[in-house]
Chain A
């Protein structure tokens, strides 16, 4: 059974009298250990699809099943718990918390987990070491470069060993050299068994993934499993 099953997912937004169809019956199946990139032009529905996958955007119709759990049949707060236990997010603008150090930012998902503080620290340190930032644990975000901030964001997304790592344009704000390094890091994580679903508009990033799904006007054009 696939790790993620998206069945006929539709999402409509209403704006005044206008109804915008962001997703028009999307079917995707993702296996454990896959590295999927979702590509498409601006407005194609890729960010909407990622937020639906992340359990943060209730689809108008259709099913999203993850690790055997029908995500949108869970009540709101249970869905939050599901995100905490099974998902890791990497955002385009890194979205690090400005008043927390690198290691504190990485420990953030563990703040709501019952675990001793030293154990949380060890897990965060090890996640930062995995992304090559073991020497900059106590730096605040504004003391780190863009690439380093992205790495902290990745470390934060993997610290709780999620089943699925979701990334929204993770190289959108990086120069090409740093982008390559970050993509290599995602590849490395995937090689170690991490399932990755990434939204990107950069075709070069597709080369790092196992499969690329192309979206256009809210529909899957190619790459559907």
Chain B
């Protein structure tokens, strides 16, 4: 018989009380785990979708000129000393510290060509990464597969009077129009897209690229850091974050997170109140028992240890169960909450240990006053209640 035997036997043999206390705290913890996990899973889902939706970092050659372009209307530019980026430099982007946050890199080479007597801006792209980044593109016809396939913007197709399956000649070489883009309302409408290598060859810019768009994952959003890291790796390039995109994404996620955490805080508060009220009730119910403990020579610290140990055991159990039930709840709720079908649950040991630690802290904090109250009970008063 030790002090902990008293706590353990009390919990073991007063199952209803223990169950009530455990369930009270468990509901609080489970709700928090569900909310936190759902928030994180949904954030990651939203983040992934947003990151796939266009670039948020632009890598362009250093230039001393200013572009005279606004809203797709170009008035020409006063540029001089135009440089280009070497294609092999792009590999360096993948060596930055935050390389794991890079979702896609889309290099582009730009140059003017004449097609059917029309001046056209030819854009060489890596179709795989370009299509991944521009998911809003709707293609009539097929996606380009070979080096001699072209993809035309809607206006370019109209001006050149071609449809998917037609042929075009550029600098004496034959190309097939694999697909035509539905109108996007952007500068893409007037462009002709070709494979990167093909375009480089046609424009005489082998091994060079005009710019690269980088889609970076917003998790932790070290976009500013990533911009610096890329700039260090490619000193010849100008690296800039598309602030509008970055800030927009951050704000959306931040708002969502704040909402979830506010709900979680309310639930934690209610859970703590349940533990406090139950522990206080339990202490009052045990007035006589505590009087007996004091009468037979238990110190105040002994009484506190008994009550706090009970609280710790119940809280640990509530923490484990709360985590399990919370994750179960999140798993059930995620398909209804997340938009994309392939949203997956995030299993994080921080949440597991955090929920158990939180349960323990809450249980102990909520029981501290009842334990102090019990230890200060006057044994004569307690025994007078006999």
List of A residues within 8 angstroms of B100 by Cβ: none
Assess the A95–B386 pair: CB atoms within 8 A.
Answer: yes
Shortest distance from the beta carbon of B210 to any chain A beta carbon, whole Å? 80
B residues near A98, Cβ cutoff 8 Å: 13
State whether A57 touches B292 (Cβ < 8 A): no
A217 to chain B, nearest CB (A): 20
Cα–Cα distance between A168 and B145 once the two chains are bound (Å): 98
Which chain A positions have C-beta within 8 A of B386? Answer: 91-93, 95
Interface size on A, residues (CB 8 A): 36
Closest B residue, CB atoms, query A83 = B297
**A residues near B299, Cβ cutoff 8 Å:** 77, 80-81, 112
Q: A109 near B297 (CB under 8 angstroms)?
A: yes
A83 in complex: contacting residue of B1, B291, B295, B300, CB < 8 Å: B295
The answer, yes or no, to whether A107 is at the interface (CB within 8 Å) is yes
Cross-chain contact of B295 among A54, A85, A140 (Cβ < 8 A): A54
Judging by beta carbons under 8 Å apart, are A77 and B300 in contact? yes
Contact A112 B6, beta carbon cutoff 8 Å: no
Q: Does A108 sit within 8 A of B, measured CB to CB?
A: yes
CB distance from B285 to the nearest CB of A (A): 11
Q: Which of A49-91 contact B (CB under 8 A)?
A: 51, 54, 56-57, 76-77, 80-85, 87-89, 91
Known A51-B380, A51-B383, A56-B379: A84·B297 in contact at CB below 8 Å: yes
Across-interface contacts of A80 in B (CB, < 8 A)? 294, 297-300
Cβ 8 A contact of B1, one of A54, A56, A95, A110 = A110
- Which residue of chain B is the closest to A77 with respect to CB atoms? B299
- Per the CB 8 Å criterion, the residue count for chain B at the interface is 28
The answer on a CB contact under 8 Å between B292 and A112 is no
For B12, the chain A residues whose CB sits under 8 A away are 99
Tell me whether A104 is interfacial, beta carbon within 8 Å: yes
The complex places the Cα of A100 from the Cα of B11 at a distance, in Å, of: 11
Tell whether A125 is near chain B: CB-to-CB under 8 Å: no
Chain B neighbourhood of A92, CB < 8 A: 386
**0/1 string, B362-386, CB within 8 A of A gives 1:** 0000000000000000111001001
Q: How far is the CA of A117 from the CA of B2 in the complex (A)?
A: 8
Q: A80-B294, A95-B288, A112-B299 are in contact. Are A104 and B380 (CB under 8 A)?
A: no
Q: How many A-B pairs with Cβ below 8 Å?
A: 86
Q: Are A99 and B302 in contact (CB under 8 A)?
A: no
For window 273-310 of B, CB contacts with A under 8 Å fall at 288-289, 291-300, 302
The verdict on A2 contacting chain B, using a C-beta distance below 8 Å, is no
| In the complex, B14 has a CB within 8 A of chain A | yes
* Structural contact, A112 and B300, CB atoms closer than 8 A: no
Chain A residues near B1: list those with CB within 8 A.
104, 107-108, 110-111, 117, 120-121, 124
Q: A91-B386, A104-B1, A111-B2 are in contact. Are A99 and B297 (CB under 8 A)?
A: no
Contacts of B349 on A, CB cut-off 8 Å?
none
Instruction: Answer yes or no: B3 CB below 8 A from chain A CBs.
Output: yes
A100 and B9 form a contact (CB under 8 A): yes
15 new A-B contacts, CB < 8 A, other than A93-B386, A109-B296, are A51-B383, A56-B295, A83-B295, A84-B298, A87-B297, A89-B292, A89-B295, A91-B295, A91-B386, A97-B6, A99-B10, A99-B13, A108-B296, A109-B297, A120-B1
Residues of B within 8 A of A (CB): 1-3, 5-6, 9-10, 12-14, 288-289, 291-300, 302, 378-380, 383, 386
7 A-B contacts (beta carbon < 8 Å):
A76-B300, A81-B299, A92-B386, A95-B289, A97-B6, A99-B13, A111-B298
**Which 8 pairs show the lowest CB-CB distances between chains A and B?**
A84-B297, A107-B1, A99-B13, A83-B297, A56-B379, A109-B296, A57-B380, A95-B292
